[in-house]
Amino acid sequence: MRTRWAELRTWAASVDPGLTRLHLASVATASMIVAAGLMSVLRTATGQPVTVVMFAVVLAMISNLAVNEPKLARRRVTTALMVLPAAAAATVSTLLAPHRILADAVFVLVMVVAVAIRRYGPRGMALGMAAFMPFFFVLFLQAGTGELPYLLFGAVLGIGSTFVLRCLVFTAPPEKVVDRLVRAFEARLHALTLSVLEVLESDEPSPPLDEVRERQARLNETALLVADRLDDIDADGRPDASAMDGRPSDDTEPEGAGGGAGLRQWIVDSELAAERLAVATRRMVDHHDPLEADDRAALADGVRALVAATAVGTPHAMSASLYDAARGAVDGLVQRPGGVDAAARVQRIAFAVLRLADAVQTTVEQVRDRLDEQGPPRPAGEALPAHGRHEIDHDPGRHELVDDGPGRHEVRPDDGEPTPGERGPDEPADVASGPGLYNRQAVQVGVATSLAIVAGELISPARWYWAVIAAFVVFAGTSSRGDVLSRGWARVIGTAGGLVAGMLLAFVVDGNLVASLLLLFACVFLALYLVRVSQAMMAFWITAVLALLYGVIGQFSVATLVLRVEETAAGGVLGILAAYLVLPTRSRTAFGEALDDALTTTSDGVAAVVDRVLRRPGEDPLEVARRLDTELGTVRTRARPLEHPLSRRPLRRGVRHTVRVVGGMDHYVRNLAVTVRAVNHPAWASTLDPAARRVRDNLDGLRRILLRGYGPRPGGDDGPEPRVESAEELIDAAEAAASAGAEADRTALLAVARMLRRIDQLAGGLARELTGGSWSEPDPDEPATAGGARGGGTAGNPVGPATPRGDGGAG
């Protein structure tokens, strides 16, 4: 029972990291209840219609959903500012309501402006929604000028209830939020190690690895959440003052000096260690390595101890002994003389277990000590306590075995031929030129909502607003026509499902007011809780809410709910058509822009690492690595429409292959950021600088090749044909210079050279595939040999020019 209870707590911690969605849904529902209660008192005293109550409730909900400012001070300001556009929109809408055509024209203009100001970030998004929703609801409620004062009061009350509850009463201290997120991080570590254990204990010759990949990606998402929240903790472990007063954080402390930067370093260490374990296990399965019974038992025992130690709620003393047990279980494999092929891959898993035990134990202890202010932190790079002894005992050969690996998206040559440049005959290459994203979407929204007003009127003059809302919301958070298609389709499916659920709920309560209100707020809570997870689920529960609401006011009918599905489908289809026909953004173009950002940041990361090694002023490598992690998330998001089953198979395979390569680069940049935190070797400049310059040139060449394949950004790429030349010989020279350096720095310098080589091999390999050349994937289980041609060819054998292949392949 204790084990099952621990598993339940661990699952609960991982479902909603930091309880952020639960907090949002709870506060939003409470705000709506408060607004409804207060406005009901006013309505009873003044005899106003129930519509003024609905107006306040809707604004309470919107002010919670639309405000996504990360800092409390900015969240307060944005929430307070929403009153101004809400009051202005309600006033204009009320005055124009008798003039239907003029009111509709201004309504379209309001929606266009609401989308255009999204360029100003979360505050622009919130203020745009604050103008759209009141304008729409006044038209929908057919309010007269006599009701305007009460509507304005309802706007202040609805937004004010959100301000009081979300920004003043229920504000979690940063330390508490970080503690919750650390628990979620542990929980997702637990889930990942559990899936690795299942693979190791499986009797199948090729156990499935999808769950390992999925849980690895979720761990990365949680690590990013923790890192973002750690910005609110200053060097003393207290809330960052800038988080409270809106000033920008002064994160200029040296790396490892404590505070948010030091805590982020420990989180990255743990994530990378978990990544090594997952990658090493997947590679063993990919190579179909047989496991000796003793080796399997040792690895399983080590991972099993990690599974138990990372379960949420495991007592500190017990987890410490479990980490020791994990290290002891694999100690024999770690001490075994280095092997080759299968033996080396088994030993890599053992090293990964050992490093994960060290990293997680240190991370959890340090984070909790910092949050509880139980003592000063150990600076990053300082020798670890007894449980971290393995980090400093490795000889160079063993370090080579442990620290390598292509990351969570390794490159596999059997994944097929990449085809990022595949393009139909009627699709121009430069569809990204012209207006920016939000200007383009503003025009699309104007066209889609104008048509939705007409279509909604034709379907039902009394319910036209559902079509308008559907056409408007499908553009929120999208970057391409593929995104709009998937969002619109999800909304229609969710609405249809909610129709059935709503009818069942309405029949169950059968007009019972108390039961209807309880179910209504329960459905609202679920809609708000799931809004950031699934548009389909949001539409499902909102439709159920409407069914219950119509039942409360005595207007429930199946025909009304069917009409909602029809109007939603019409609005969704018109939004999709506008995205496809009016200034369209191809999914490939949006994907190419994300790749452009990611490869540019990869190059910046290489530069930051070199500057740190040579002790020159420059960006913090860990900050650049965090930025690259975020951009990799954008790459994955924008790749989804291209990976849809309806896409052509060569395109899907090529996109997945490219994402894995960029993921591998992200892995190496983060590894480099960790490796160089305590390295100081200015004398290496003469050989390191030329090697790094060539690697960065190759990254730029690959970036330009990808842009030409997917469609360039505005302005295009009119320069010379991209060329990629292997940096092998230059990296060999840097590696030779590192080998001749002082013993204290040699291992770290060799690791830097090796990871630069891997980044260059990934860039060169993908560039060759895209331009029709041949390439053999570098084997990360063996160090690259001097002058070898693996992954990047030899120097002087350039890749180029970047011409599309005639078989529909890469451009």
pLDDT digits (tens, 9 = 90+) for 642-677: 876 655 656 767 788 888 888 888 888 988 888 888
**What is the DSSP-derived secondary structure letter of residue 378?**
P
φ and ψ at 558, to 5 degrees? Answer: -65, -35
Q: Measured between alpha carbons, how far is 622 from 620 in angstroms, rounded to an integer?
A: 5
Can you name the residues that pair with 239 across neighbouring β-strands? Answer: 233
- Tell me the Ramachandran region of residue 808: left when phi exceeds 0, alpha when psi lies from -120 to 50, beta otherwise: left
Which tokens belong to 614? 């040579």
pLDDT at 237: 41
pLDDT at 82: 96
Q: Within 10 Å of residue 360's Cβ, how many Cβ atoms?
A: 27
pLDDT for 695 beyond 90: yes
pLDDT for 393 beyond 70: no
Can you name the residues that pair with 799 across neighbouring β-strands? Answer: 724
Q: pLDDT tens across 260-276, in order?
A: 555 666 777 788 788 88
* Residue 217 burial (C-beta neighbours within 10 Å; 0-12, 13-18, 19+): middle
DSSP for 200-268, please give it: HH--SSS---HHHHHHHHHHHHHHHHHHHHHTTB-TTSSBPHHHHH-PPP---SPTTSSHHHHHHHHHH
pLDDT at 346: 86
Annotate 627-668 with three-state secondary structure. Answer: HHHHHHHHHHHHHHHHHCCCCCHHHHHHHHHHHHHHHHHHHH
Helix residue ranges, H only, 771-801? none
Model confidence band, residue 505 (pLDDT cutoffs 50, 70, 90): confident
Q: Within 10 Å of residue 195's Cβ, how many Cβ atoms?
A: 24
φ and ψ at 233, to 5 degrees? Answer: -110, 125
pLDDT for 324 beyond 50: yes
Q: Within 10 Å of residue 236's Cβ, how many Cβ atoms?
A: 12
Distances (CA, A) of 799 to 475, 658, 706, 724: 40, 17, 13, 5
pLDDT at 225: 77
Q: pLDDT tens across 726-742, in order?
A: 888 899 888 888 887 66
Say which range, 46-55, 677-686, 781-790, has the weakest mean pLDDT: 781-790
pLDDT for 107 beyond 80: yes
Asked if 404 and 780 count as a contact pair (C-beta separation under 8 A), the reply is yes
- Domains of the chain, first to last: 1-171 (no CATH), 175-240+254-381 (1.20.58.220), 434-583 (no CATH), 587-770 (1.20.58)
Which tokens belong to 603? 């190059």
Which tokens belong to 90? 């309600």
Q: Measured between alpha carbons, how far is 352 from 303 in angstroms, rounded to an integer?
A: 10
Handedness of CA 125, 126, 127, 128 (dihedral sign): positive
For residue 7, how many C-alpha atoms fall within 13 Å in the half-sphere facing its CB?
7
Model confidence band, residue 187 (pLDDT cutoffs 50, 70, 90): confident
> Which residues, in sequence order, are CB contacts of 58 under 8 Å at separation 6+?
133, 137, 158
Q: What percent of the chain has pLDDT over 70?
A: 77
Q: Measured between alpha carbons, how far is 674 from 771 in angstroms, rounded to an integer?
A: 34
Asked if 330 and 302 count as a contact pair (C-beta separation under 8 A), the reply is yes
Model confidence band, residue 231 (pLDDT cutoffs 50, 70, 90): low
Summary mean pLDDT of the chain: 76
CA 104 to chain centroid: 37
Q: Measured between alpha carbons, how far is 471 from 569 in angstroms, rounded to an integer?
A: 9
- Tell me the Ramachandran region of residue 259: left when phi exceeds 0, alpha when psi lies from -120 to 50, beta otherwise: left
Model confidence band, residue 186 (pLDDT cutoffs 50, 70, 90): confident
Q: pLDDT tens across 2-23, in order?
A: 666 666 767 777 778 778 888 8
Note the residue count of the chain: 811
Model confidence band, residue 90 (pLDDT cutoffs 50, 70, 90): very high
* Residue 325 burial (C-beta neighbours within 10 Å; 0-12, 13-18, 19+): middle
Q: Could you tell me the maximum CA-CA distance found in the chain, to the nearest angstrom?
A: 88
Q: For residue 72, give the nearest of 225, 247, 251 by alpha carbon.
A: 247
Asked if 780 and 677 count as a contact pair (C-beta separation under 8 A), the reply is no
Asked if 702 and 724 count as a contact pair (C-beta separation under 8 A), the reply is yes
Residue 722 in 3-state DSSP? Answer: coil
Asked if 153 and 55 count as a contact pair (C-beta separation under 8 A), the reply is no
pLDDT at 782: 40
pLDDT at 258: 41
Asked if 136 and 107 count as a contact pair (C-beta separation under 8 A), the reply is yes
Residue 791 in 3-state DSSP? Answer: coil
pLDDT for 77 beyond 90: yes
* Residue 740 burial (C-beta neighbours within 10 Å; 0-12, 13-18, 19+): exposed
pLDDT at 692: 93
| Higher pLDDT among residues 360 and 720, named by residue | 360
Q: For residue 511, give the nearest of 556, 541, 544 by alpha carbon.
A: 556
Residue 799 in 3-state DSSP? Answer: strand
- Tell me the Ramachandran region of residue 341: left when phi exceeds 0, alpha when psi lies from -120 to 50, beta otherwise: left
> Which residues, in sequence order, are CB contacts of 494 under 8 Å at separation 6+?
534, 535, 536, 537, 538, 539, 540, 543
Asked if 785 and 746 count as a contact pair (C-beta separation under 8 A), the reply is no
pLDDT at 9: 66
Q: Measured between alpha carbons, how far is 294 from 555 in angstroms, rounded to an integer?
A: 71
Asked if 199 and 281 count as a contact pair (C-beta separation under 8 A), the reply is yes
Say which range, 284-293, 370-379, 789-798, has the weakest mean pLDDT: 789-798
Annotate 300-320 with three-state secondary structure. Answer: HHHHHHHHHHCCCCCCHHHHH
Distances (CA, A) of 598 to 617, 629, 703: 23, 9, 9
Return the top range by mean pLDDT from 313-327, 382-396, 398-412: 313-327
> Which residues, in sequence order, are CB contacts of 49 under 8 Å at separation 6+?
43, 147
In the chain, how many H helices and how many E strands? 29, 0
Q: pLDDT tens across 565-578, in order?
A: 898 889 989 988 98
Helix residue ranges, H only, 582-616? 587-613
DSSP for 507-566, please give it: HHHTT-HHHHHHHHHHHHHHHHHHTTT-HHHHHHHHHHHHHHHHHHTT---HHHHHHHHH
